[in-house]
Amino acid sequence: MLDKNRFDTGYDFADYLKIVVARKDDWLKNYQEFRLTEAENKKLASISKRFNILALSEDWCGDSVRNLPVIARMVEALPNAKFKILTRDDNLDLMQKFTADGKMRIPTVIFSDEKFKVLALWIEEPKNAPQLKQKLLSEPDGKEKYLAALKEEVKQEIFSLLDEIKDR
């Protein structure tokens, strides 16, 4: 069950980065290099709703490595949001409650209100990731273009999700 006690056992993003073993350089690079524009920071700062945002993840997961640093940067700009990360393997009971098509996928990001009522989920990768991969990976510098496009899509999906739930 997701409640305050469970949420509070999670790692803050900075603390999570300290315990990451697998792909540590990628985690740090993705976090350090991702930046929001001034307009995006202002938009996020204008959202007054209180959120608890919990990610279920593992450090070896490529989708987590690529996407959670983007979400962490966005949460930093939200004035009333708390962001925690729990390891999936140590929280399988919680993970099983938030499956996609009956499958456990990570990262699973749970947006809840201050009483831990679930408002929205964001799971694994942007919806159009397979199409982006197919389109961009065949181009020159395709991997870099694909990774940049993924970050942009994550950002846009989180903005859309926040727009949907900010007044609930």
The DSSP result for 21-67, as a single string, is: -TTHHHHHHHHHH----HHHHHHHHT----EEEEEEE-TT-HHHHHH
- Residue-wise pLDDT for 55-68, tens only, equals 999 999 999 999 99
pLDDT range class, residue 137, cuts 50, 70, 90: confident
In order of start, what are the domains of the chain with their CATH numbers?
Answer: 4-124 (3.40.30.10)
- Residue-wise pLDDT for 40-50, tens only, equals 999 999 999 99
